[in-house]
Amino acid sequence: MGIPQANALATATLDSAPEGRAALDATTPDQTAPAEPRQPSAHLRAVATWLVMALQASAVSLLLKPFTGSLPGPVPTLITVTIIVPLGVYLTIPFTVKQFMRLTSRRRVSVKRFARLASRR
């Protein structure tokens, strides 16, 4: 059985069912699925990552300086990176991007609202 025949059989079966095609149409993923949240651009994620990681690296290295000051060169850096990478990846970068997206979506709504109000005049 080819694909066109299978589609014709499925259509005939749906049309003859008691609920018919209306039941299928009411539950299609396009109608019931919530809208996908808008994803930030790669540039926004890069800026957020750089900003968060630079600030965290500075803060953590300053806080650990009394404990890691006597250790040889790369060891304090390794300790700092071990702390800031999981913290940034799982907490601060997602939080920063989410807050930025929330702020920019409010701005877009207000711009749209302003344009709509201006067009009424």
Statement to judge: residues 59 and 99 lie in one domain: yes
CA distances from 48 to 25, 32, 90 (A): 42, 33, 13
**Residue 37 forms part of a structural domain:** no
Statement to judge: residues 26 and 50 lie in one domain: no
Give the pLDDT band of residue 49 (cuts 50, 70, 90). Answer: confident
SS3 of 71, please? coil
What pLDDT shows up at residue 105?
73
Domain that holds residue 9: 3-32
Give the pLDDT band of residue 100 (cuts 50, 70, 90). Answer: confident
* Structure confidence by residue, pLDDT tens digits, 53-86: 899 999 999 999 999 889 898 999 999 999 999 9
Report the percent of the chain where pLDDT is more than 70. Answer: 60
